Amino acid sequence: MKKHIQFFIFVYFCLSSVHIVAQQETDRGEVLIISSYNHESKYTYTFISNFINEYMKLDGKCLTVVESLACHSLDEQSLWFNRMKKILKKHPNPKFIILLGPEAWACYFSMPEEKYKKIPIACFRGQRYGATLNNRNIPCLQTEDTEKVKTVDFLKLSESFNVKFFRFYEYDIDSDCNLIKHLFPDTRNIVTISDNTYTGLSEKQIVRQTLQSSYPEMNIIEIDGSRINLKNALKRIAAIPEQSVSILCVWRLDKDNVIYMNNADYLFRKANSQLPVFSLTGTGMGYWCIGGSVPQYQEEIEKKLANYLYHFIDMGDENLPSNILCMSNGYSFDLKRIKEFNLKKKLLPENSFFYNENSHWKEFFHTYQWYLLLILLVISLLTIGFLASIRYSWHIRQLKNKLEEDKKNLQHSEYELRIAKEKAEESNRLKSAFISNMSHEIRTPLNAIVGFSTILEEEIKENKDLKEYVNIISYNSDLLLKLINDILDLSRLESGRQNFRFKKQDLVPTCENIVAGMQPNVRKEVQLTFRHPTTTIVAETDNIRLQQVLVNLIGNAAKFTKQGFILLNVEPDEEQKQWRFSVTDSGCGIPLEKQTAVFERFHKLNEFAQGTGLGLSICQITVDKLGGKIWIDPTYKEGARFIFTIPYEHRYEQES
């Protein structure tokens, strides 16, 4: 009854601990990141991983989870809002929401429920103005005039929500247009290049509105990826008339929803290499675009966001002021493209950033770098070879002297090692003799304890308590006597004091007697049998030592076999002139990785099983003295199988 009460108390505490841990995990809360695009894409993944790393460095306690709207092309715009609702339903109580991309902004700002207007949020990776859509799937982007696409101000839409951290950028179309008129004053046509994404649509609409309102003299030519594929776009750009300049928005997807990265820019340039191209976003800089006024993305946003969330959530500073900022723009130019169009660097705005900026010596090195490196390599190799030859000649002389000295040291060391080896062997013999003597001396009084315990057990049959105590004394005395006997046998075998008496005899009666004698040690559910294909098993061996090996192996099998069988099998090996003994059981078996360790002294696979861990070590040494070998069969999987051999005739020349 007491054990049952203790068990129930233990189970109660375990369940309580699990509940406490689960409650702690729930109390940590979530920081929900909703990305417009695949969160494994390069820029999105970098942003998320940098933020999480910074937040963990600050010892933030909230769990960070990431969901994606999987926005692809404009053809899928009807799915975005429902995806946002499913994500918010899946995470009903986030402590903070981070929105990445204008699609995520628009879907969240379209949520009508008041609770979403109270959750603190942060917005990143998008421009301030976005294009409206000619459908009602995303409420905040719908327009009454389905024939015209207009723009919405995300900053104004965010005023109805609890925006704590906001980073956006505004494209400086006026600066790009003034730059175009300054560098190419004869320009009459502005060619916009945009793709089949919401970002591309928004950028195209912003450029169109600016040109229509401020530069009506410019003719607008649109290469729109939402209406044509890349093949047709290349044909159109190849047919662009003179006095035209292009503004590149972005091109990743065409009408056929084929994804293009930077390779599309190379195809556009190849289609019309004479067309000056200015970048609206920084796309194409360094190999296609001349330049432009583009947003500056150098700010460590992830670090600032992590610090803000840590103080707002973990430190409980809910009065922390909102951090809303428009990212600045800066001029960037490709000097290589500037030279290709015969433009002067002095015509460019001050404090501009330049790609492919090389001075004359850098250009010279860039042109002849392989020749210079080859000359430098040859000079270096010749110098190294000359220094190496001097060093090696000196080193050879030193080695010769050192070898002579080492030879003398080795001869002296060999003499000392020989003496040390003899001393070690003598110490080992003395150690084994000491253990043997001590075990013998301990066994004498122990035999008396065992004997008188047996007598005492007979005398107190009527007293059950005393009988139980005497049984404990008798049982543990037997175990101690077994340990002493095993140590005594092992020490005698090692010290060479164990005498082996070899005699030619038939071993069938010996095996039968052992099997019969071991029957009481085997469970009723286990069948112990002896099998031999020959009528006699004649060998020149020590019968007593062979019995000791078989008793140990069968005893081990009985100890670990609860049901099934134990089989002693003896077969002849005519090729090797030896008998092959095997003890096979259907017990728990021995793992393959532990089979080489079972013959080590005091090694036990089951620390709770009775035994000294010396039995198999004694078997191994005994079998070796009998002229055979012992091992475990690794191919047998239904239990364990120990195999050992003894020769037909003892080889006296092997005795040491």
pLDDT of residue 655: 42
- According to DSSP, the β-strands at 578-585 and 630-632 are unpaired
pLDDT of residue 18: 39
- According to DSSP, the β-strands at 129-131 and 151-153 are antiparallel
Find, among 176, 335, 194, the residue nearest to 252 by Cα.
Answer: 194
Find, among 116, 102, 117, 120, the residue nearest to 161 by Cα.
Answer: 117
Over the chain (656 residues), the average pLDDT of each successive run of 10 is 51 46 57 87 86 92 93 89 94 94 94 93 93 84 66 92 93 92 93 92 92 92 92 92 93 85 79 92 86 83 92 88 91 91 89 76 66 87 87 85 84 82 70 59 63 67 66 64 63 65 89 89 90 91 88 88 92 91 90 78 57 73 88 89 91 56
Six-digit token string for 113: 């429920």
What are the residues facing 333 on neighbouring strands? 291, 354
Evaluate whether the domain defined by 29-169 bears CATH number 1.10.3470. no
pLDDT of residue 265: 81
367 backbone dihedrals φ, ψ, rounded to 5°: -75, -45
| Residue whose pair of structure tokens reads 């040291």 in the numeric block | 409
Q: Is 259 helix (H, G, I), strand (E, B) or coil?
A: strand
What are the residues facing 641 on neighbouring strands? 584
Is the fold of 29-169 the same as that of 500-654? Answer: no
pLDDT of residue 656: 40
Six-digit token string for 523: 């469970």
Six-digit token string for 103: 């699609």
d(CA 550, CA 618): 11
Return the CATH class of domain 173-296+330-360: alpha beta
pLDDT of residue 415: 82
pLDDT of residue 42: 78
The domains of the chain are located at 29-169, 173-296+330-360, 361-493, 500-654
Strands in 59-188 per DSSP E: 63-68, 96-100, 121-124, 129-131, 151-153, 163-169
Q: Are 205 and 151 in contact (CB under 8 A)?
A: yes
d(CA 348, CA 346): 5
How far is CA 409 from each of CA 416, 423, 646, rounded to the nearest angstrom? 10, 21, 46
Return the CATH number of 500-654, one of 3.30.565.10, 3.30.200.20, 3.20.20.140, 3.40.50.150.
Answer: 3.30.565.10
The 3-class SS string of 448-485 reads: HHHHHHHHHHHHCCCCHHHHHHHHHHHHHHHHHHHHHH
